[in-house]
Structure 1
């Protein structure tokens, strides 16, 4: 602790490094829990309001995690990674949960009667990507495990590419079926939200790649 003028700044030393990694792992676990909840919503489309409410709770938890990490950054002198990478990583993880929640909310407010098969496939992709993120995160703690992080990054990139393909197929399908305009608009938005969720996961993977390159 030291004082600058009238301001007292409190710094944490060890185990601050461990705390950062713990928060990364909590954030990735939150992404996985939200992705599992979304998959459950799409696979078992019942009690929609309560399931969406649960996903919203997880989105709020993600916001809390971001707040805690930023607070830790402000009060820690020595951090394990570049501060910019810490901010980008925790923000990208939170953005992923935000997209999951936004998708779930639209299922509710658009009064979707049942998910399409393509939407379910995209939800499963998101669940797979979240699992890769969750498995990658503990390996950031030690350089010897960076190779494992890279393997998970590759899987996430593949998942994002598959998400792009499913989006194109879905958009072609809704246009070809000449659905009513409202149905076209609402499903176009939902499909795009689902695909953007895989984009946000790829953003996390990009930050992980940057961390591996900088610190490997």
Structure 2
């Protein structure tokens, strides 16, 4: 009992989740601006930098959560859930940064409608993740639990939409693109963008598990 009293209890995990969620949304919004303004080299560099900055700030939050896990005796939710949530959220921003940097490394010259659609779906998924995470501190309130489940279901639908756009984009790419190098570039970009919505769905599934255990 004495050991339990000496060890920190609860921690500020939910606050850190919220901070990370805010960085995810900031990174996603900068990414959308990047692909919308891709033809402008100055704006392209600016928004790529903003995505990278959001990712680095989120990394610090992830590190703090993992540090707290080793110091906190009693956590507000299961330790594995905390670990899975923060690392799943971190994967989302990593992929946003990977996508923005890959466009530059591969010297992609222009965006197309499929990239814009996939980017938009990814950004919407990111915003839904942030909203679902913001409900976790009071998830024992039935209205919040219901809202969280509904938001997770929205993420699932958006991920399915991204899958359909991805399949259509790949089919069009292999039918119409004659330049093999351009095909390889665009395929990599499509796959990264679709992976963002996949990771958002993974986080949504974890949140659903937290909600069901709390209900």
Q: State the TM-score, normalizing by the size of structure 1.
A: 0.91
Q: Which residue of 1 aligns with 2:76?
A: 80
Shift of residue 192, structure 1, vs aligned partner: 0.4
Q: Deviations 1:128-182 (Å, cap 9, x if unpaired)? A: 1111111111211121111110010000000100110111111111111132100
* Correspondences of 1:89-100 after superposition (within 5 Å): 89-100=85-96
Deviating above 4 A after TM superposition, structure 1's stretches of 4 or more consecutive aligned residues are none
Counterpart Cα distance in 2 of 1:13 and 1:198: 34
Shift of residue 13, structure 1, vs aligned partner: 3.0
Q: Which residue of 2 aligns with 1:6?
A: none
Select the residue among 111, 120, 126 that pairs with 1:124. Answer: 120
Matched residue SS, 1:12: coil
Q: Which residue of 2 aligns with 1:67?
A: 63
Does residue 171 in structure 1 map to residue 170 in structure 2?
Answer: yes
Counterpart Cα distance in 1 of 2:63 and 2:208: 24
- Higher mean Cα deviation, 86-95 or 173-182? 173-182
Q: Which residue of 1 aligns with 2:45?
A: 49
**Alpha-carbon RMSD:** 1.4
* Correspondences of 1:6-17 after superposition (within 5 Å): 11-13=7-9, 16=11
Counterpart Cα distance in 2 of 1:179 and 1:101: 28
Does residue 24 in structure 1 map to residue 17 in structure 2?
Answer: yes
Gaps of at least 5 residues in structure 2 are none
Q: Which residue of 2 aligns with 1:137?
A: 133
Matched residue SS, 2:7: coil
Shift of residue 189, structure 1, vs aligned partner: 0.5
* Correspondences of 1:92-111 after superposition (within 5 Å): 92-111=88-107
Gaps of at least 5 residues in structure 1 are 4-9
